[in-house]
Amino acid sequence: MIQISEKCVGCGKCTTVCPFGALSLVNRKAVASAACTMCGACVSQCPVKALSLPQTGAAKKDLSAYKGVWVFVEIANDGRTQKVRPVGFELLSKGRELATQLGEELCAVVIGYGTQPFFAELSQYGTDKIYSVDGPAYAQYNTIAYANALVTLIEKYKPSVVLYPSTYIGRDLSPRISSQLFVGLTADCTGLSVKEGNLIQTRPAFGGNIMADIKCPDYRPQMSTVRPNVFKKAVTTPGRMAAVVTESIPVPPQAAKVRVVNTHMDPPASGMKLDEAEVVIAGGRGMKDKAGFDLLEDLAKELGGTVGASRAAIDLGLKDKDQQIGQSGVTVSAKLYVACGISGAVQHVVGMEHSDVIIGINKDANAPIFNVCKYGFVGDASQILPRILEQLKK
Amino acid sequence: MNIIVCIKQVPDSTQVKVDPKTGTLIRAGVPSILNPYDHFALERALDIKAKTGAKVTLLSMGPNQATAVLRLGLALGADEGVLLSDRAFAGSDTWATSYALATAIKKIGGYDLILCGQMAIDGDTAQTGPGIAYHLNIPQITFCESIDASGNQVVVKKLIEGGHQILEADLPVLVTMTMPPDYVAKYPSFMAAHKAQDKTIHTWTAADIGADPSKLGLNGSPTRVDRIFPPPARAKGEMFSGSAVELANKFVEILKKESVLK
Residue B38 belongs to some domain of the structure = yes
Neighbours of B24 (CB within 10 A): 18
Sign of torsion, CA A196 A204 A96 A249? positive
Residues A220 and A85 in one domain: yes
Residue A62 belongs to some domain of the structure = no
Are A319 and A293 in contact by the 8 Å Cβ rule? The answer is yes
Residue A264 belongs to some domain of the structure = no
How does residue B18 score in pLDDT terms, banded at 50, 70 and 90? Answer: low
Residues A110 and A250 in one domain: yes
> What distance in Å separates the CA atoms of residue A253 and residue A337, rounded to the nearest whole number?
50
- Among B105, B33, B37, smallest CA distance to B72 is for B33
- Which of B159, B225, B236 lies closest to A370 in CB terms? B236
A:B CB pairs within 8 Å: 309
User: What does the pLDDT read at residue A78?
Assistant: 80
Contact A45 B155 (CB under 8 A): no
Residue B234 belongs to some domain of the structure = no
> What distance in Å separates the CA atoms of residue A203 and residue A392, rounded to the nearest whole number?
39
- The minimum CA-CA distance between B190 and chain A, rounded to whole Å, is 25
Residues whose CB falls within 8 Å of the CB of residue A183, separated by 6 or more in sequence, listed in order: A216, A219, A220, A221, A222, A223, B222
Count the domains in chain B: 1
> What distance in Å separates the CA atoms of residue B100 and residue B85, rounded to the nearest whole number?
10
Strands (E), A20-128: 23-26, 29-32, 51-52, 69-73, 75-77, 82-84, 106-112
Residues A75 and A215 in one domain: yes
Residue A235 belongs to some domain of the structure = yes
Longest dimension (CA), chain A: 73
Contact A205 B228 (CB under 8 A): yes
DSSP state string for A181-226: HT--EE-S-SEEEEETTEEEEEEE-TTSS-EEEEE-TTSSSEEEEE
> What distance in Å separates the CA atoms of residue A142 and residue A148, rounded to the nearest whole number?
10
Identity of the residue numbered A92: L
**E strand or H helix at A164:** strand A161-165
Domain of residue A376: give its range: 274-393
C-alpha torsion angle, residues B45, B47, B49, B51 (rounded to 10): -150
Beta-bridge partner residues of B117: B177
Residues B206, B132, B85: CA angle, nearest 5 degrees: 25
Q: What are phi and psi of A147, to 5 degrees?
A: -65, -40
Residues A291 and A191 in one domain: no
Give me the CATH number covering residue A180. 3.40.50.620
Residues A203 and A86 in one domain: yes
Contact B181 A262 (CB under 8 A): no
The predicted model gives A333-351 an average pLDDT of: 93
How does residue A328 score in pLDDT terms, banded at 50, 70 and 90? Answer: confident
Which chain A residues are within 8 Å of B11, Cβ to Cβ?
A: 207
> What distance in Å separates the CA atoms of residue A92 and residue A235, rounded to the nearest whole number?
9
Residues whose CB falls within 8 Å of the CB of residue A170, separated by 6 or more in sequence, listed in order: A72, A74, A164, A225
The predicted model gives A36-55 an average pLDDT of: 90
Give me the CATH number covering residue A342. 3.40.50.1220
Q: What is the pLDDT of residues A63-81, one digit of tens each?
A: 999 999 999 999 998 878 9
- The model's pTM is 0.92
User: What does the pLDDT read at residue B260?
Assistant: 81
- The minimum CA-CA distance between B195 and chain A, rounded to whole Å, is 31
- The minimum CA-CA distance between B35 and chain A, rounded to whole Å, is 12
Residue A251 belongs to some domain of the structure = yes
Residues A320 and A235 in one domain: no
With 60 as the cut, is the pLDDT of residue A351 above it?
yes
| Between B24 and A135, the higher pLDDT residue | A135
Q: What are phi and psi of B68, to 5 degrees?
A: -60, -40
How does residue B176 score in pLDDT terms, banded at 50, 70 and 90? Answer: very high
Q: What is the pLDDT of residues A111-164, one digit of tens each?
A: 999 999 999 999 999 999 999 999 999 999 999 999 999 999 999 999 999 999
For chain A, what is the mean pLDDT? 93
Residues A134 and A194 in one domain: yes
Give me the CATH number covering residue B74. 3.40.50.620
Residue B11: cis peptide before it, omega within 30 degrees of 0: no
Residues A223 and A307 in one domain: no
Residue A261 belongs to some domain of the structure = no
Nearest CA in chain B to A189: B125
Residue A225 belongs to some domain of the structure = yes
Quickly count helices (H) and strands (E) in chain A: 9, 22
Considering A205, A226, A255, which residue would you say is the last residue of a domain?
A: A255
Residue A64 belongs to some domain of the structure = no
User: What does the pLDDT read at residue A88?
Assistant: 98
Residue B233 belongs to some domain of the structure = no
With 60 as the cut, is the pLDDT of residue B22 above it?
no
User: What does the pLDDT read at residue A204?
Assistant: 86
User: What does the pLDDT read at residue A219?
Assistant: 95
- The minimum CA-CA distance between B11 and chain A, rounded to whole Å, is 10
> What distance in Å separates the CA atoms of residue A347 and residue A204, rounded to the nearest whole number?
6
Residues A306 and A341 in one domain: yes
Beta-bridge partner residues of A283: A309, A340
User: What does the pLDDT read at residue B253?
Assistant: 94
User: What does the pLDDT read at residue A298?
Assistant: 95
> What distance in Å separates the CA atoms of residue A318 and residue A292, rounded to the nearest whole number?
9
Residues A237 and A105 in one domain: yes
Residue A227 belongs to some domain of the structure = yes
% of chain A surpassing 70 pLDDT: 97
Residues A41 and A188 in one domain: no
Residues A210 and A245 in one domain: yes
Count the domains in chain A: 3
User: What does the pLDDT read at residue A41?
Assistant: 87
Give me the CATH number covering residue A44. 3.30.70.20
With 90 as the cut, is the pLDDT of residue B250 above it?
yes
DSSP state string for A275-318: GG-SEEEEE-GGG-SHHHHHHHHHHHHHHT-EEEE-HHHHHTTS
Residue B96 belongs to some domain of the structure = yes
Residues A101, A107, A113: CA angle, nearest 5 degrees: 160
Q: What are phi and psi of A304, to 5 degrees?
A: 70, 40
% of chain A surpassing 90 pLDDT: 79
Residue B238 belongs to some domain of the structure = no
- Which of A1, A172, A387 lies closest to B248 in CB terms? A387
Mutate to test the interface with B, among A209, A222, A265, A328 (most CBs of B within 10 A): A209
Residue A221: cis peptide before it, omega within 30 degrees of 0: yes
> What distance in Å separates the CA atoms of residue B142 and residue B158, rounded to the nearest whole number?
7
- Which of A43, A210, A255 lies closest to B24 in CB terms? A210
With 90 as the cut, is the pLDDT of residue A299 above it?
yes
Residue A329 C-beta-side C-alpha neighbours within 13 Å: 28
Residue B255 belongs to some domain of the structure = no
Residue B261 belongs to some domain of the structure = no
Domain of residue B91: give its range: 2-220
Residue B11 belongs to some domain of the structure = yes
